[in-house]
Amino acid sequence: MEHGSFTDNSAATFSLTDEDHTIANAVRFTLNQDPRVTFCGYSIPHPSEAQVNIRVQTTGDPAREVLKDACQNLMLMYRHVRCTFDKAVEHFKASNAVKALKIDSQDSSGDDSEESE
Amino acid sequence: MAEGVGEEKKKFSIWDLPDVPMGQVPPHLELQRSRVSCNKDAPIHTESIQYSGAYASMGIDNSSRLDRFSNNFRVEVVQLNKDDMEFDMIGIDAAIANSFRGILIAELPTMAIEKVLIANNTSIIQDEVLAHRLGLVPIRVDPRLFEYLSENDQPNEKNTIVFKLHVQCKRGRPRITVKLDALKWLPNGSELVKETRNATSDSSSKPETYTYFGCSQETIPEFVKNPIIPKYPDIIIAKLGPGQEIELEAHAVKGIGKTHAKWSPVATAWYRMLPELRIDCNCRRRATVARPRVCTLCRECIRGDDWEKRVALRPVKDNFILKILEEKCERVITELS
């Protein structure tokens, strides 16, 4: 999964199977935001195979740690998006009471199962 | 004298310039970073400047820390119906918005008909065409109540929904159109009996069918008052002439859009940047843009000779309008993580 050198672990290529642009572009974006990264990019060797190669070069930190941090950041970002989205939908429903009544009566079971998580 | 000059000579710092704001990118660079400029020939500055060291020479940290993102990120829902939804995401990048779009189309599970057991089909619609059409039918059910059916599993009430279709056009009658309201839900499982090899099977046991339902799906609380039906009962499946008959059983399972588009919960999902139109006019009357959201970036307004100087068409790079059509939007929310 990781193709790097044993002596220098600040640069490595990570090969992910069963992935495509969806996750790769998002990971590349968060990697770029990290100040420890000098170079990052992703490529898809062949469109018929679901494989992605992510290349990370850092300023000294081990590349896999930086990738792990980037994935962690991405997860937190998505979690925050989800919370904000939930709140925005609640707010919208509350402010549009008439429409909300029609939608809520259909999806009340769905919302209950969500809140109990 | 040289010493005097040396003492008075200070190091020149960019922060001493009166028009550079401290700790922030100067306004013309900020414009480049956050807006796409749609010029007459082509849009420029379309890529987003993500690299954390992009403004390092000015001492500005471009790396986005999570707290900054959390403070700036906003979602505003514009429209929310049963069938479609439009909302704005402000403060994220195109890469993240695109990943949402990809997940919406390809990785949200739904239920769709996968196996069609045809007992009798004397209509002019071929078996496989009929099965293909049935597969594309949207079913009004929450897929979170079901599990995936893998190859080793047996179809039971937790992973399969069974429908039955039996229509006949009798001789002497006019042609009939078979619509989806003829598809009946079978909460007790399949009714087609499997042929058993051994002729001496005991007659006391129930005949083996194609599904192994432990209990009736009607007893599951969500389905007590809401039977599982196709979402649009007026979709035409087939047309029968006199003397033709269709008798089949359809099994629906859970899947994702990546495997086959019939499992995609959205008709489509797309996003675009919110356009910002700025009119700089030196005349006395000022003009403002009435409804910037409706702008489709057709660039009519900058077509004229001199107009370009007065109208600046600038989509905002981190303000995305996401539109999701079809099917339950609420499911999207819980699957987002």
Q: Specify the CATH number for the domain of residue B76.
A: 3.30.1360.10
Closest CB to A77: pick one of B66, B74, B107: B66
| B259 and B116 belong to one structural domain | yes
| pLDDT > 80? residue B321 | no
SS3 B8: helix
Q: Which residues of B touch A106 (CB under 8 A)?
A: 82
Which range in B70-84, B175-189, B271-285 is most confidently predicted, on average pLDDT? B175-189
Name the residue among B75, B82, B336 with its Cβ closest to that of A78. Answer: B336
Question: For residue B305, what pLDDT is reported?
Answer: 45
Flag whether pLDDT at B151 surpasses 70.
Answer: yes
- Check whether residue B184 and residue B311 sit in a common domain: no
Please identify, among B218, B242, B263, the residue that sits at the C-terminal boundary of a domain.
Answer: B263
Can you give the CATH number for the domain in which B242 is found? 2.170.120.12
Best residue in B72, B76, B80 to probe A by mutation, most A CBs within 10 Å? B80
DSSP per-residue string spanning A70-105: HHHHHHHHHHHHHHHHHHHHHHHHHHSHHHHHHHHH
Residues of A within 8 A of B144 (CB-CB) are 110, 113
B263, B281, B303 - which closes a domain:
B263
- The amino acid sitting at B137 is V
Does the residue B203 lie in any domain?
no
Interface contact flag, B82 A88, Cβ < 8 Å: no
- B96 & B121 share domain: no
Q: DSSP letter string over B102-152?
A: HHHHHSS-EEEEEEEEEEEE-SSS-HHHHHHHHHT--EES-GGGS----TT
- What CA–CA distance (Å, rounded) separates B47 from B36? 8
pLDDT confidence of residue B332: 47
Residue B47 belongs to a domain = no
Mean pLDDT score, B35-49: 66
Residue the block writes with tokens 């994220």:
B92
- Whether residues B114 and B259 fall in one domain: yes
Helix (H) or strand (E) holding B252: strand B245-255
The answer on pLDDT for B213 being more than 80 is no
Residues B221-242 pLDDT 10s: 777 777 788 888 888 999 999 9
Q: Which of B241, B263, B285 is the last residue of a domain?
A: B263
Q: What whole-number distance in Å separates Cα of residue A58 and Cα of residue A66?
A: 8
The secondary element (H helix, E strand) that includes residue B76 is strand B74-80
Other residues' Cβ atoms within 10 Å of the Cβ of residue A103: 19
Same domain, B220 and B316: no
Q: Label residue B219 by pLDDT band (50, 70, 90).
A: confident
Q: Assign domain A11-102 to its CATH architecture.
A: 2-Layer Sandwich (3.30)
Contact at 8 Å (CB) between B77 and B332? no
Higher-scoring residue by pLDDT: B158, B291:
B158
Distance of alpha carbon B221 from alpha carbon B225, whole angstroms: 8
CA distance A78 to chain B (A): 6
The secondary element (H helix, E strand) that includes residue B325 is strand B311-325
Average pLDDT over residues B279-301: 58
Residue B143 lies in a domain: yes
* pLDDT band (50, 70, 90) for residue B33: low
**ipTM of this complex prediction, to 2 decimal places:** 0.76
How many domains, chain B? 2
Do residues B278 and B144 both lie within one domain? no
Within a domain: residue B18?
no
Same domain, B115 and B250: yes
Check: pTM over 0.80? Answer yes or no.
no
Residues 6+ apart with CB under 8 A from B297: B38, B275, B313, B315
pLDDT digits (tens, 9 = 90+) for B160-170: 888 999 999 99
Cα A68 vs. chain centroid, distance in angstroms?
11
Q: Are residues B178 and B299 in the same domain?
A: no
Q: Which domain holds residue B186?
A: 109-194+208-263
Same domain? B97 vs B127 = no
Supply the DSSP string of A4-41, one letter for each residue: E-SS-TTEEEEEEES--HHHHHHHHHHHHHSTTEEEEE
- Would you give per-residue pLDDT tens digits along chain A (117 residues)? 777 666 777 888 888 888 888 888 888 888 888 888 888 889 999 988 888 888 888 888 888 888 888 888 888 888 888 888 888 888 888 887 655 565 555 554 444 333 333
Q: Is residue B115 part of a domain?
A: yes
